[in-house]
Structure formats: C-alpha cells, structure tokens
C-alpha cells in the first residue's frame, strides 16, 4: 500500500480499540483465509474477552497505526503470577500479525517492547526461531527451553510408525524390552494412598489448594477455580480430562490431560499436573491414573513438558524419558529479579500460555 514506508508518517502504538476488531479480522482473513479467520474469532472471544484476568480496559492487544491505517498488532494473554514471594500482574506474549506491506520495518520489535513495558513480568513461551532471536535481542532473560518428556506405552505402534509394518513388528519386542530395562516405571513409595477421581469442573476447594501449594513454587500462574474453569472447562476448541487427588480428607492436587491423533499415532498429553511441589505421593497417584487412562484409550506415546525439577523427578520415576524440547522460554521482569536465579522452582507445563491450541 502506498505511504507505508514514508519516514515522515507518524507511527503510533496503542491499545487496540473495539472498533478496530473487524478491520484486523478482515486483514487476517485476507492473509489466512475466511475459514481460519472464523475459527480464530471463536477462540479469540474465549482467549481474550472471557479471560478472568482481563483488565477493565479490555484485551491487552497492542496495535501499530500510521496515518490512521492499522499496520498490525501484538496480542498478549494476561494472568496473575506468583513471582517470588508475592503475586504480580503478568502476561504471555501470544501472536504478532503485520500487514505484508508493513513487514521489514522493525514494527514487531516495537510492538514487543511496548507490550513488555506495560506489564511487570512479560512471558514469551514456545517461541518461533525469529521470535526467539528478537526476544534475546531485546535483552529478555533466556530461561528455557522447558524440558520435554515422553513415555512409550505401545512399543509396537511406535515401531510400526517409524519403521513400517514389517520391520516395526520385528523391532517392537526389542524396543519394549529395552524401555523396561532403561526406563522402568516405579511408583512412589507412599505412606498414604491418595484417592484419584474424575471431575467435571473446579470448585472453591481449588482456591484453597492454590493458597496452600503456591508457596512451594518460585513462579507459577495463579491456578484458582476461576482460571482453571476458564482454561480447561470453557475452552471451545479442546476437550480435557480432569482428575483430582484427595488424601487425609482433603483436596491435594489435580491433573489435566487429553488424547489426540498425530501423523497416525495416538498421543496422550499431560497438559497440567499441580500439587505442592514436595507432594510426590499425590503427583505420582495422579500420574498413574492418567497413564492408566491413556492405556485404556490405546495411546501409543505419553508426552509432557515440565520446568519444575520436582515434577521432572516424578515423571522420570514413572518411566518418562527426556527428549529435545522445542519450547523456548524468555522472560522480562520489571520487579523482583530473584526468581530468575532458579527457574527449576518454576511451574511451567504444556497448559501454560496458548501452547496447547
């Protein structure tokens, strides 16, 4: 479009107004197609308008304008974050979108900077190579990647997928034996037996669980009932399986999981698992129940991301193997920098940000 590269034009980056929504969705539809644009609208309403941490000013979306023309936007997802010993306002960086004619002018970097300047803690998770480079250029702290773990539940299915029907059938017994020897599944030695059951939603007991367990983490998004119901019950495009664990008469933890097909292989995702970081018995009981459910559904491979060292220990005891992680993670804090020193006490999983979309 003429005029986009004129250096004399005044560039403004401000919060997006309601009136600009249709124009931006129109740009999105022209770039990615009408069908994808319509599905994006539905998810957008849930992700930005229904978010319980949304501010009174509306969605935290920053728009670049020049001569009253919208050039692009950067969207973020606000959350309440336990950060060190207190709770602060934070947000996950989500999507940058620019008109094709406006690319190559450094607008993405300006949108990133404007966003991070307006929030105490800015979080960038699951970054593309270009975004990762930009975050580092802007001097964000590089605290990733978030560790990835997997556990093969059906060696035959995995071997056939990788080697074909004939060679896969021949190799699967050896693969299964090797996994049992190198990554055995060992339940945690328990002095109590937590009771695990399925739930349909999260009630006020989960508010109390958050208050009890949150101090065991140096960083964790506030997982109260309002957040959990929005994230895992009201989500319009993904259905989750929810489980809770009780012991000594009280709620002690929960797990969120789902099953999906990927390239002919049935995968089981451990999306979230939350309890006091030191409560290994409860986390192990939840893990065992999730894995049992995966096996009943014919899952070939279970997968999880986990930044917390205690949760990593729980996964390893259940036979999960570490793998190469694509989930880069960068953070900028304008408040207490203490938590940056020990990311192993952070609770970040696949359910955080919009990774599972």
**Distance of CA 253 to CAs 45, 205, 271, 282, Å?**
29, 10, 14, 7
Lowest mean pLDDT among 27-41, 113-127, 197-211: 27-41
Give the range with max mean pLDDT: 165-169, 242-246, 261-265: 242-246
Q: Which of the pair, 159 or 240, is modelled with greater confidence?
A: 240
Q: Which of the pair, 174 or 109, is modelled with greater confidence?
A: 109
Please report the DSSP string for 218-247 in residue order.
SEEE---HHHHIIIIIS-SS---EEEEEEE
How does pLDDT run across 3-48, given as a tens digit for each residue?
333 343 588 888 887 666 666 666 665 655 555 555 566 787 888 8
Q: Which of the pair, 172 or 121, is modelled with greater confidence?
A: 121
Identify whether the C-beta of residue 315 lies closer than 8 Å to the C-beta of residue 149: yes
How does pLDDT run across 70-115, given as a tens digit for each residue?
888 888 999 999 999 999 999 999 888 787 777 888 888 899 889 9
Domains of the chain: 11-142 (3.40.630.30), 148-324 (3.40.630.30)
Cβ-based burial of 25 (10 A; exposed 0-12, middle 13-18, buried ≥19): middle
d(CA 171, CA 153): 15
Question: What are the start-end ranges of the H helices in 5-106?
Answer: 21-32, 34-44
Identify whether the C-beta of residue 319 lies closer than 8 Å to the C-beta of residue 183: yes
> How high does pLDDT run on average in the chain?
87
> What is the model's pLDDT at position 92?
95
Q: What is the DSSP letter of 106?
A: S
Helix 280-296 / helix 309-317 crossing angle, nearest 10 deg: 50
How does pLDDT run across 319-337, given as a tens digit for each residue?
999 999 999 999 999 999 9
d(CA 69, CA 20): 10
Q: Which of the pair, 243 or 262, is modelled with greater confidence?
A: 243
d(CA 185, CA 319): 4
Please report the DSSP string for 266-313 in residue order.
EEEEEEEEEE-TT-HHHHHHHHHHHHHHHHHTT-SEEEEEB-SHHHHH
Mean pLDDT for 224-243 is 96
Phi, psi of 65 (to 5 degrees): -125, 150
Please report the DSSP string for 130-173 in residue order.
HHHHHHHHTT-EE--PPPEEEEES-HHHHHHHHH-HHHHHHHHH
């Amino acid at each position: 479009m003429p005029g986009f590269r004129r250096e004399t034009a005044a560039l403004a980056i401000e919060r997006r107004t309601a009136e600009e929504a249709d124009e931006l969705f129109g740009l999105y539809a022209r770039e990615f197609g009408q069908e994808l644009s319509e599905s994006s609208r539905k998810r957008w309403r849930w992700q930005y308008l229904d978010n319980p941490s949304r501010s009174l000013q509306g969605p935290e979306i920053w728009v670049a304008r020049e001569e009253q023309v919208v050039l692009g936007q950067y969207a973020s997802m606000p959350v309440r974050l336990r950060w060190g010993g207190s709770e602060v306002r934070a947000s996950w960086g989500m999507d940058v979108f620019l008109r094709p004619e406006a690319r190559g002018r450094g607008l993405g970097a300006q949108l990133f900077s404007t966003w991070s300047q307006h929030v105490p803690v800015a979080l960038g998770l699951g970054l593309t190579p270009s975004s990762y480079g930009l975050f580092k250029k802007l001097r964000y702290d590089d605290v990733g990647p978030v560790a990835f773990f997997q556990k093969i539940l059906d060696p035959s299915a995995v071997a056939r997928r990788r080697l074909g029907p004939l060679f896969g059938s021949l190799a699967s017994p050896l693969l299964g034996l090797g996994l049992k020897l190198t990554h055995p599944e060992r339940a945690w030695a328990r002095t109590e037996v937590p009771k695990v059951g399925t739930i349909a939603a999260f009630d006020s007991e989960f508010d109390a669980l958050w208050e009890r367990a949150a101090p065991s983490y140096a960083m964790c998004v506030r997982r109260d009932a309002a957040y959990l119901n929005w994230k895992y019950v009201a989500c319009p495009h993904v259905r989750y399986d929810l489980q809770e664990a009780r012991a000594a008469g009280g709620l002690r933890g929960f797990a969120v999981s789902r099953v999906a097909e990927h390239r002919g292989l049935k995968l089981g995702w451990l999306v979230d698992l939350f309890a006091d970081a030191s409560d290994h018995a409860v986390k192990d009981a939840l893990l065992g129940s999730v894995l049992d459910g995966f096996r009943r559904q014919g899952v070939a491979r279970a997968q999880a991301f986990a930044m917390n060292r205690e949760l990593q220990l729980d996964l390893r005891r259940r036979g999960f193997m570490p793998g190469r992680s694509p989930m880069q993670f960068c953070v900028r804090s304008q408040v207490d920098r203490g938590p940056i020193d020990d990311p192993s006490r952070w609770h970040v999983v696949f359910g955080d940000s919009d990774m599972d979309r």
